[in-house]
Structure 1
Amino acid sequence: MPMNAEQAARLTERIKSSIDNLWELIVEAHDGQAWKALGYESWKGYVTKE
């Protein structure tokens, strides 16, 4: 069953919020060098495997 406009708008806002939150978490992981704490040699290795 297709969504109505209100449902679609709410979902779209949730998606936007999730993207903003995800970006903040990625920046935190990068700036905090999470890859080193987990034993990866590089950021690229971390994001490729995780």
Structure 2
Amino acid sequence: MPMMYGYGSLWGLGMMIVSLGIFGLIIYWAVYSGVRKGLKEGPRDKD
């Protein structure tokens, strides 16, 4: 039982790290795309 619990918690921790990494990557990509788009269109076009 303890081994299974340890494996389960380790797996959960790994999945949490993976999902956090994917979430951060999506946010980073969205921000990067927004900045690049803003620079390409020009700052005064946003207003």
**Larger Rg belongs to:** 2
Greater helix share, 1 or 2? 2
9, 29, 37: which one aligns with 2:38: 29
**Corresponding pairs, count:** 34
Task: Please show how residues 8-27 of structure 1 align to structure 2 within 5 Å.
Answer: 8-27=17-36
Please list every run of 5 or more consecutive structure 2 residues that lacks an aligned counterpart in the other structure. Answer: 1-11
Q: CA RMSD in A?
A: 1.8
TM-score relative to the length of structure 1: 0.59
Where does structure 1 differ by over 4 angstroms across 4 or more consecutive aligned residues?
none
Structure 1's unaligned 5+ residue stretches are: 39-50
